[in-house]
Amino acid sequence: RKEVEQDPGPFNVPEGATVAFNCTYSNSASQSFFWYRQDCRKEPKLLMSVYSSGNEDGRFTAQLNRASQYISLLIRDSKLSDSATYLCVVTHNFNKFYFGSGTKLNVKP
Amino acid sequence: EAQVTQNPRYLITVTGKKLTVTCSQNMNHEYMSWYRQDPGLGLRQIYYSMNVEVTDKGDVPEGYKVSRKEKRNFPLILESPSPNQTSLYFCASSFQGAGEKLFFGSGTQLSVL
């Protein structure tokens, strides 16, 4: 079983739409959680960390549900520039990162 | 500028010819790691290092070697590359380890013929 699973998409949405991605993880001892953004074959970049209480950064909201072992990312008022692949990342043992295979988002005019 | 520098950006080689991909960071990070990215599989960790002279296997270490003789450098060595090592490789570093933001190099696209 994969450590982290994501719906690969693609999610095709119009500008201004709200879109949500989910990610599930298998190890209940996972300690830290992140969303990274990756543009086509470029290096991933941190979008936001995910905290137990949930957190927001502008149009982006991340939630963590430890009981059900999933993480979510909500993007409001989608922009064309949000088109990318979103990677869910979890860590455990303080030394290993586990990446989901990514969810592709296409925002269309 | 704070960055992770990875070279080369593209590399084409033949089976069995030893190669090294270099990775250097200028942020005094203790943690460095290597990943390969393949379609549908996401990024998978090859090796990581918590500090100088401390390295450990990730999930897919077979066919790779690393060394950490200096804090800033973490080269990836393929002693005898094979076609199944054709992939996009990323080096990354963070201040102290998992749980912190990873800074990535710009990637190396390796093709083994």
The Cα B12–Cα A8 span in angstroms is 29
Contact: A43, B106; criterion CB under 8 Å = yes
pLDDT attached to residue A93: 75
Interface contact B38, partner A, CB < 8 A: no
Task: Choose among B90, B102, B111, B47: nearest CA to A32.
Answer: B102
Taking only the tens place, the pLDDT of each residue in A65-105 is 999 999 999 999 999 999 999 999 999 877 889 999 999 99
With beta carbons under 8 A apart, name residues in chain A contacting B33.
97
Q: With 80 as the cut, is the pLDDT of residue B81 above it?
A: yes
Are B44 and B36 contacting, i.e. CB atoms less than 8 angstroms apart?
A: yes
DSSP for residue A80: G
Task: Choose among B47, B46, B52: nearest CA to B30.
Answer: B52
Contact: B43, A46; criterion CB under 8 Å = no
Interface contact A44, partner B, CB < 8 A: yes
